[in-house]
Amino acid sequence: MRLVLDPAYLALAYLAAAILFILGLKGLTHPASARRGNLYAVAGMVLAVAATLCNPAVRSYGFIVAGVAIGAAIGIPLALKIRMTAMPQLVAALHSFVGLAATLVAVGTYYAHTAAPDKLLLAEIGIGGVIGAITFTGSLVAFGKLQGLLSGSPVVFKGQHALNLLLAAIMLAVAAAFVLQNRPAWLMVVLAIAFLLGVLLVIPIGGADMPVVVSMLNSYSGWAAAATGFTLQNHLLIITGALVGFSGAILSYIMSKAMNRSIVSIVLGGFGGGDGGAQALDAVAGRGVKTAAVEDAVFVMVNAAKAVIVPGYGMAVAQAQHALKELMEMLSARGVEVKFAIHPVAGRMPGHMNVLLAEADVPYENVVEMDDINPELAAADVVLVVGANDVTNPAAKSDRASPIYGMPILEVYKARHVFFVKRSMSPGYAGIENRLFYQENCSLIFGDAKKVCERMVAELKAA
């Protein structure tokens, strides 16, 4: 025996779930309310699932229970074991699941209609399948780049854009033929081209653009879910997909503006990686690099009036955020003003550094975004950069040949002293040399970020 909701009550439940999703998104706009936003979203999802299980269209729970059990058996251990450094590639992988689900629903819906479906349904199936297929393979490529299975450098070839345009035109033409003639072979051709386009659209995107790519794929997954909602005639899925699609698109736009790039330029080839790194290295190789000991950095920080810490992916890899929180507290106790400077695309996904610092309970008032902190950097006595390569590279302002030229950066080079914690002289994810290393006011401290920061804390305690 199972509970079946009247359509009116089902609609009310879906409306309540949609409101909770909107409140969840609103909560995620600020770190202080992010946890509350997550709770709203979780409550909305629980309500949505419960209401769907009571939908008169659901006639059996067998496959649903089996699917949930298998998903839980995989997802729960993965969630418990996943490290924050692997979160970007996990997000990309989850986007691929959404895309694949949308594609399978489109195909399944088509074959479930033994009678001739109307042209509107065929159009919905085609749109949902195309968006899902592009999201699926594009997300897999993004996962491969983030995981290091594929090169983070752009993969480009002559005539690439023309090929993409030609494939898109053929796909649209075949999709129109599918809607008009209702031939399953046409649907398979459309999906095959869409799968290929997903790969071709992401492989030319370089490492520096990956946070925007993750955000855009999030938007794609939302539109795939919305298209699936139309196919299944599920209003909540349409609303939820539209929320994700629009929010992902808006975030992508904000991030691309922060990088002084248009979304179109990123999608059509991106930047980050390529020959610019070798050119930059040749240009500065003869200028030398200064190194410093932990004790030197601690001495300067203790005697500073204002210190700024710039976290990057190196901090995430080493899980150094807790040591930096302790370092901040000890310096603050000695009268030093300490702030964390956040670049919008630092790390591998939107908000990566904010999440890590929130995990370490760094006060929100100490975390400052790029546009607000840049005017203060010239007055900073010392800046401690922890594994943030590309977002501190002065080449973005001075070298027109650099792949990252024009991207706004954290202007740490203006500070009186800069100490850069780094494992080696290898370039950042964009594949280019950081010219900051060769400036007179910059000294490098080589080593694991967590161990270096812990040694700084120990040095402060002993002082």
Active site residues: 390
Q: Give the span between the Cα atoms of 277 and 291, in whole angstroms.
A: 22
Q: Give the span between the Cα atoms of 371 and 349, in whole angstroms.
A: 19
> Is-contact 125 109, C-beta < 8 A?
yes
Q: What are phi and psi of 56, to 5 degrees?
A: -55, -25
Q: Which residues contact 76 (CB under 8 A, 6 or more apart)?
A: none
**Residue 221: in which H helix or E strand, if any?**
helix 210-232
Q: Which residues contact 167 (CB under 8 A, 6 or more apart)?
A: 193, 196, 197, 200
Pinpoint the alpha helices (H) of 28-86: 31-53, 62-81
How far apart, in Å, do the first and last CA atoms of the chain sit? Answer: 71
Q: Which residues contact 93 (CB under 8 A, 6 or more apart)?
A: 139, 140, 143
% helix, strand, coil for the chain, step of 5: 65, 5, 25
Q: Give the span between the Cα atoms of 92 and 59, in whole angstroms.
A: 33
DSSP secondary structure, 181-215, as one string: H--HHHHHHHHHHHHHHHHHHHTT--GGGHHHHHH
Question: Scanning the structure block, which residue is given the tokens 């977002």?
Answer: 391
Measured at the CA of 403, the angle between CA 400 and CA 406, to 5 degrees, comes to: 55
Let me know how long the chain is: 463
Tokens (6 digits) for 440: 């007179």
Q: In the β-sheet with 306-311, what is the strand arrangement from edge to edge?
A: 367-369, 337-342, 306-311, 382-386, 417-422, 442-446
